[in-house]
Amino acid sequence: MEFEGCSCFRQRLVLSTLSGKRVKIRNIRSKDDNPGLRDFEASFIRLLDKVTNGTRIEINQTGTVLFYQPGLLYGGSVEHECNVQRSVGYYLEALLMLAPFMKTPLRAVLKGVTNDPTDPSVDLLKVTAIPLMKKFGIDGDGLEIKVLKRGMAPEGGGEVLFTCPVRRSVKPVQLTETGKIKRIRGTAFSVRVSPQMANRIVDSARSVLNKFIPDIYIYTDHMKGASSGKSPGFGLTLVAETVNGTFLGAEVVSTPQGQGDPVLPEDLGRNCAKLLLEEIYRGGCVDSTNQSLALLYMTLGQQDVSKTLLGPLSPYTIEFLRHIRDFFQMMFKIEQQKPGEDEQKGGEKVLMTCVGAGYSNISKTIK
């Protein structure tokens, strides 16, 4: 299969690895002053090479053409030094998609930037993606994301442990009722700055959220010494849980040292609270960060109908649906849902329905 350009680079390689189809990507930033693959993309390819067995990768001299022939997903114990241009979340999102289909359970230690303004942070994936995976039958003691050391952009120095059990197949889901919000939890963290910063963030976030719901608890996480990485920074991750077990998350991180305008902890707390309220308004049974993860598991599920109610689709998700069609010949039925008269007005929802492809993990033996 042939593609052009560098957009949706991860999607193509992840789906190629799962479907076993070879991919050739041409004209990667060919008109740029600095053509070819960036360091973080090369680092991502190396990570895929570590978790698979027999993958063939060819890149031309300028790095503008990539040929990728996927091998078998092997898993096992992996340690990877992620490039600091992107956060660990960039690599972790791909591993969440691949990990259940490996031959041996994955135990990955990723080092680098744990929180940055562009990618979903490790904290956000921990509170939203993990409960989502459990709904698809990927659970057990082995499924967890642990922040061993925090590392802020630009220097990094963080360390994250991700472990995931293997499954033979993914079960179909019916996630159509979001339910009412019952509680809000969060983590305010600060590294290499005064521990008071985290408390200031919590106070300002609560000033907005207390009008909405009384059950709010925000942990403060202040890491010292070796476990605080190499750069100063602070941030907040919030997650709202509904009565039906849906988790909607939002986060804001301070601007990296030496880049852009500095942020006050009060503003950061308020902004994050507003982002969470916006995410609740958008609604759906999966928050906007994990839409593509849910759609992938629905595609790979057993041959049965899966339904999921989502908020407005993000541009990234729309591209992802196109790629699923190319790699798996799968089409979703998309129905727009208007909010009812009696309900609180939320954003327009989309009901996604598909019949799973019946993908099974070929290397997992039947017990």
CATH no. for residue 203?
3.30.360.20
Residues 6 or more apart from 104 whose CB is under 8 A from it?
Answer: 74, 75, 76, 166
- H helix runs in the chain, sequence order: 9-19, 39-51, 88-98, 122-135, 196-209, 265-282, 291-300, 315-328
3-state SS of the chain: helix, strand, coil percent to 5? 30, 30, 40
Question: Are 268 and 290 contained in the same domain?
Answer: no
Looking at the structure, tell me whether residues 278 and 290 fall in a common domain: no
Q: Are residues 242 and 313 in the same domain?
A: no
- Check whether 230 has a pLDDT greater than 50: yes
| Mean per-residue pLDDT, 237-260 | 87
Could you tell me if residue 126 is inside a domain? no
Please give the average per-residue pLDDT across 276-296, as a whole number: 86
Question: Is pLDDT of 181 > 50?
Answer: yes
Q: pLDDT-based confidence at 59, cuts 50/70/90?
A: confident
**What value does the mean pLDDT take over residues 55-82?**
88
Q: What pLDDT shows up at residue 270?
A: 93
* DSSP element (H, E) containing 138: none
In this structure, the answer to whether residues 308 and 272 fall within a common structural domain is no
In percent, the amount of the chain with pLDDT more than 90 equals: 13
What tokens does 87 get? 């956060």
Q: How far apart are CA 65 and CA 270, in angstroms?
A: 44
**Domain CATH code at residue 351:** 3.30.1370
Interatomic CA distance for residues 4 and 321, integer angstroms: 17
Residue 121 inside a domain? The answer is no
* Domain membership flag for residue 171: no
Does 276 share its domain with 290? no
Are residue 298 and residue 276 in the same domain, yes or no?
no
| Cα–Cα distance, 239 to 229 (Å, whole number) | 25
CATH of the domain at 14: 3.30.110
Q: 278 and 290 in one domain?
A: no
Single residue among 49, 72, 95 that ends a domain in this structure: 72
pLDDT at 133 over 70: yes
Residue 366 lies in a domain: no
Average pLDDT in the 131-143 region?
84
Query: Looking at residues 269-287, what average pLDDT do you find?
Result: 88
Q: What's the predicted TM-score (pTM) here?
A: 0.89
Same domain, 230 and 319: no
Q: Which of 250, 282, 314 is the last residue of a domain?
A: 282
pLDDT score, position 367? 42
Q: Which of 19, 52, 72 is the last residue of a domain?
A: 72
Total tally of structural domains belonging to the chain: 3
| 210 lies in some domain | yes
Q: Which two tokens stand for residue 306?
A: 């899966």
Residue 129 falls inside a structural domain? no
Who wins on pLDDT, 32 or 205? Answer: 205
Same domain, 278 and 225: yes
Quote the mean pLDDT of the chain.
Answer: 86
Cα 362 to Cα 70, 192, 228, 299, 367, distances in angstroms: 15, 47, 41, 17, 13
Q: Side chain identity at 103, as an amino acid letter? A: K
Are residues 294 and 264 located together in one domain of the fold?
A: no
Contact 337/28 with Cβ under 8 angstroms? Answer: no
Q: Could you tell me the residue range of the domain that residue 224 belongs to?
A: 181-282
Of the listed ranges 85-99, 220-234, 236-250, 291-305, the least confidently predicted one is 220-234
The pair of three-digit structure tokens given for residue 281, joined into one six-digit string = 């308004």
Whether 367 is in a domain gets the answer no
Of 91-100, 139-148, 293-302, 318-327, the poorest mean pLDDT is in 139-148
Asked if 342 and 272 sit in the same domain, the reply is no
pLDDT given for residue 364 in this prediction = 56
pLDDT tens digits for range 300-352: 888 888 888 888 888 889 999 999 898 888 888 888 877 654 455 667 788 88
What are the pLDDT digits (tens) for 111-124?
A: 988 888 888 888 88
Q: Does any domain span residue 276?
A: yes
Residues 273, 351, single domain; the answer is no
What whole-number distance in Å separates Cα of residue 172 and Cα of residue 136?
A: 7
